[in-house]
Amino acid sequence: MAAVLDSFVKRCTASLEDFADQEACAALGIVDDVRGLLATLLRIDAIISHEERRRVLSAKTDAWVVQVKDAMYEIDDVLDVCMIEGAKILAAGGPPTPKVRCFFCFKLSGPRKFRHEIGFTIRDIDLRLREVEEEMPRLPAGSAHSDDAKRDWFSRDVCKNCSDAMKPQAVGSQVQKAVGGLVPRMLSKRFLLVLDDLESPSIWDNLLKDSLGDGVVRGRILITTRNEEVATSMKATIHHVDKMDPESAWALLCNQVDAECNSEELATLKDVGIKIAEKCDGHPLAIKVIAGILRSRGNSKAEWEMVLNNDSWSMCPILPEVPQAVYVSYVDLSSQLKECFLHCSLYPEEFPIQRFALVRRWIAEGIVNARDKKLLEESAQEYYVELISRNLLQPDPESVERCWITHHLLRSLARALIADESILIYGQQKLNTSLSKPRHLTLCSMENSLDGPISLKQQMGLRSLMLFKSPNVRAIDLLMESASCLRVLDLSKTAVEAIPKSIGNLVHLRYLNLDGAQVRDIPSSIGFLINLQTLSLQGCQSLQRLPRSIRALLELRCLCLYGTSLSYVPKGVGKLKHLNHLDGLIIGHDNNAPEGCDLDDLKALSELRHLHIESLDRATSGASALANKPFLEDLYLSEQAPAIENQEDLEDKDETEKEEKEGQERSNGQCRGDESTKASEKIWNELTPPQSIKKLVIKNYKGVKFPKWIKGPKLGDSFPSLVFLDLENCMSCTKLPSLGLLSQLQSLQISNADSVITIGSEFLGTTVLSSATPFPKLEVLKLRNMKKLEEWSLTVEESQVVLPCLKSLQIQWCPKLKALPEGLKHVALCELHVEGAHSLTEIKDLPKLSDELHLKDNKVLQRISNLPMLRSLIIDDCSKLKHVAGLDALQHLRLVFPPSTETFYFEELVIFWSVAFPRWLELLIQKCKGLRRFELQCGLSLLRSCLDGGKNWHLVQQIPEVRIISCDGKRYFRYNKSRRIYETNAQSEE
């Protein structure tokens, strides 16, 4: 961890230099002591930097590295306390500071006593560092390339991989969760069970083998392991992974560096590229991480040759199984990126890493440096992107907000490099470590108490504590009393109900995450956490009150309150001038009391990037609330949600009855509604979002007309950067704004616009535009729950193009929509999803629709025709479908026949699916020669009719691949023509 130490020493040096010049240092009378320590630290920094450049360490390395690192942690804590006490002295009469226990054994007390104690502590650290300085190596230049020296650097013992630490019960639990129930349920289906990176056969022998029984007859189990003996003991058929040949390795390298690199550039780089690929020894992971380095260097032959000739290729590895290229990739990282990467290994292997939380933890740990007047969060985001670009982190395919460490070998290396200061514990497993001063503790699957496998009383130097999958943890009093040096504390999704008053002792705390915890109250002592940067209470549904002392958290950068039961937020939020992320701010008070925060509190928050406002209708004024917000990008504006009836009750009522009731309610509350509407429109019209907005959400707006700043001919000028727009529950607005004028808009969602009957040219903005293209960059359009929408038109002039970039269109629960707009035939759609459109009778003439058409619960849909490019069709519960034709490119067909639907209609004759396929399906199968895959979910009788000898077998056997499952999921049929697979459990009458 010398590289991380190098970064740590530089941070402490910079902090000492800054503090030495501050008034607080002079007020404490410790300027000479601080400057003496600074001089020692500068000398040590020079030696450490020298050692880092040479990548060598002597036999004494481990001892002095640990001593220097301990001193750096101590300096970091001392500086925090000095800043607190110095500010108190300068304020001369500020609020009393709580007594704080720190691992350097003194308490904040009277100023005179504190000056004596802190001066003694600083001098003691200086003396110890000077002694360590004498022991640090002084290596001649000639020994820089000594293999022995490098072997000393990479000779430390290795911390076990996370997969080693996972208990078999935890794996079994994950298997059950993946299949949605117990193992017997899995055995009723075809299944593929993958046990990745298996370290020992115990998981199979002690847990899964007996549970699965003869299930392996119906399923397959795939094992990946680095230990061939594991596979042998499990009597598995062994397939060795062959190394990539040079040409394949070169192709992968090119693709990873630049998938669009032209052939001429590749020709100039191929010779050196092949040599680099050869050094990767045909290992795909090695090639990918080396490609990450090359991508950062550009397509320069000289830069590639520098990577090829890097001394790091000749290092002696700390883990023999890790490819040498991985070490080269790690060494090539900057000190900050190394620390960021190592921090990711603190997460349990099976848990995705949340981007939002990760970057704020990096900041809390002091890893991130401010650069070019950017916010720390912006710099941290750049680190995150860089690690992904270098193939060290892998984005989750299901969410851009999550990532994983790319490969278990990378994780093993990171855990080994951070083993000297971190512990990861699963449940009540026995702790096998001699680590005396852990700085980072991760606990997974803990019960009520945290003080089980490790005594928190002895962990006074702990800097981060994170809990995962520990919903039963309640007792945290001991933690608050002992771990006084914490910077990061994550108690999210635990059963913690009460935060003890002793939380005020954690004066070093920067990051506090209580998301989803059962917290009922936050003590006023939280105001003593003057270094706190992130306070996240999202989803704390039992939380009903915030203390007024929250306005004392002057260093707060992120405050998340969304999803709580708070009725108001205390006044004074405007004092938190470092806030850049404010989520779930509730305006006003539920009983109009003056304690509630108003929009005026936002005026001073000029650093905001994300702002989420709730209960906007309780505001008294909003004229300048969003003024002076030049960096604001995400804006969420919401009034209180209207009271609605239970959805099940609404569904049981006749449509006429519902409309009559709505009309009566409108008549009875017209006066009150008019007043509410006018007040709502006044507040919203006074708000003027800045031009920097990229994401805008408007929810529960009660006005009849949209705010003036989101309509009119200059809408495009008002929001030149808007990429995402969501209009939700704007129930009284009868017309949509001219959103086609938004030149950068990529995603648009409109839901619960109950009063909109038609969507026409005003939506496109064609009444304003002459020749410009409406929605020039829109890629995703979603229309949901628009219960009165009847007509939608995309009519434009012949010279205009509409929706040129639209890829995905979703229309859900628009029961009165009679037809899709004719203009869609000119749109090159990839995906179209239509659900709950109960007045739509046909879908036709979409010649450019290519990837998928998904139709669900459209009660009167009868025809599908002229979709010549469509490759995949999914039909779920469209019971009146009669005609399907003109799908010449169809390759995949999926039909779902719900148990609630008894019949399918064709040519006015009831065709019982329990007997045969409808005529349109027979014709479709016969005419679509390119149909490769057919999936069907249906009743047991129809399933059996598809088996060999059944009424539909002559159709089924024409399709290369068929998968059919019964509605209850118990019976199945699988057929693959080319692979000669015919499997079913539906022949039995049981």
Model confidence at 172, in pLDDT bands (50, 70, 90)? low
Which of the two residues, 2 and 873, has the higher pLDDT score?
A: 873
Per-residue confidence (pLDDT) for residue 156, from 0 to 100: 33
Pick from 10-24, 118-132, 173-187, 397-411: least confident: 173-187
**Cβ–Cβ < 8 Å for 608, 587:** no
pLDDT at 39: 92
Radius of gyration of the chain (CA): 33
Per-residue confidence band for 1, with pLDDT thresholds at 50, 70 and 90: very low
Where are the strands (E) in 366-486, listed by range? 393-396, 399-405, 422-426, 440-444, 464-468
* Weakest-pLDDT range from 680-689, 716-725, 929-938: 680-689
Q: Which of 191-200, 401-410, 591-600 has the lowest mean pLDDT?
A: 191-200
Residue 659 — pLDDT band, cuts 50, 70, 90?
A: low
SS3 611: strand
| Residue predicted with more confidence, 129 or 916 | 129
For residue 907, the model assigns a pLDDT of 40
Instruction: With a cut of 70, say whether residue 858 has pLDDT above it.
Output: yes
Q: In the predicted model, what is the mean pLDDT of residues 504-528?
A: 95
- Domains, the chain, with CATH or none: 2-153 (no CATH), 162-233 (no CATH), 246-405 (no CATH), 415-638 (3.80.10.10)
User: Looking at residue 349, what is its pLDDT?
Assistant: 85
Beta strand segments in 406-546, E: 422-426, 440-444, 464-468, 488-490, 511-513, 534-536
Any idea which of 93-97, 581-585, 723-727, 796-800 has the lowest mean pLDDT?
A: 93-97
Position 557 scores a pLDDT of 97
Inform me whether the pLDDT recorded for 459 exceeds 80: no
Among 244-248, 296-300, 445-449, 980-984, which is the least confidently predicted range? 445-449
Instruction: Say whether pLDDT at 988 is over 70.
Output: no
pLDDT of residue 844: 95
Question: Residue range 930-945: average pLDDT?
Answer: 93
**How far is the C-alpha of 72 from the C-alpha of 128, rounded, in Å?**
12
Least confident interval from 567-571, 767-771, 888-892: 767-771
Q: Which of 413-417, 652-656, 851-855, 961-965 has the lowest mean pLDDT?
A: 652-656
Residue 842: pLDDT band with limits 50, 70, 90:
very high
Q: Which of 171-180, 297-306, 692-701, 799-808 is most confident? A: 692-701
418 pLDDT exceeds 90? no
Structure tokens at 696: 């805008």
Query: What average pLDDT does the segment 762-774 reach?
Result: 75
- Percent of the chain whose predicted confidence (pLDDT) is above 90: 49
Cβ atoms of 735 and 762 within 8 Å: the answer is yes
Task: Assign 262 a pLDDT band (cuts: 50, 70, 90).
Answer: low
Give the model's pLDDT for residue 926: 92
pLDDT surpassing 70 at residue 816: yes
Note the pLDDT of residue 561. 97
Look at 802 and 841; give whichever has higher pLDDT: 841
Give the C-alpha separation, 198 to 216, whole Å: 18
The mean-pLDDT minimum among 60-69, 437-446, 505-514, 869-878 falls in 60-69
Secondary-structure breakdown of the chain: helix, strand, coil percentages, each rounded to the nearest 5: 40, 15, 45
Cβ-based neighbours of 153, under 8 Å, separated by 6 or more? 2, 55, 56, 57, 61, 315, 316
Which among 852, 841, 848, 845 has a CA at the least distance from the CA of 894?
852
Q: Is residue 238 within 8 Å of residue 231, measured between CB atoms?
A: yes
pLDDT recorded at residue 922: 92
Q: What is the pLDDT of residue 987?
A: 79
Query: Is the pLDDT at 983 greater than 90, yes or no?
Result: yes
* Segment 538-572, tens digit of pLDDT: 999 999 999 999 999 999 999 999 999 999 999 99
Can you tell me whether residue 875 is helix, strand or coil?
Answer: strand
Least confident among 247-256, 434-443, 553-562, 743-752: 434-443
Q: Distance between CA 459 and CA 422 in Å, rounded?
A: 12
CB neighbours of residue 242 within 10 Å: 7
Mean pLDDT score, 580-597: 87
Check whether 231 has a pLDDT greater than 80. no
Task: Give pLDDT tens digits for 151-163.
Answer: 333 333 323 333 4
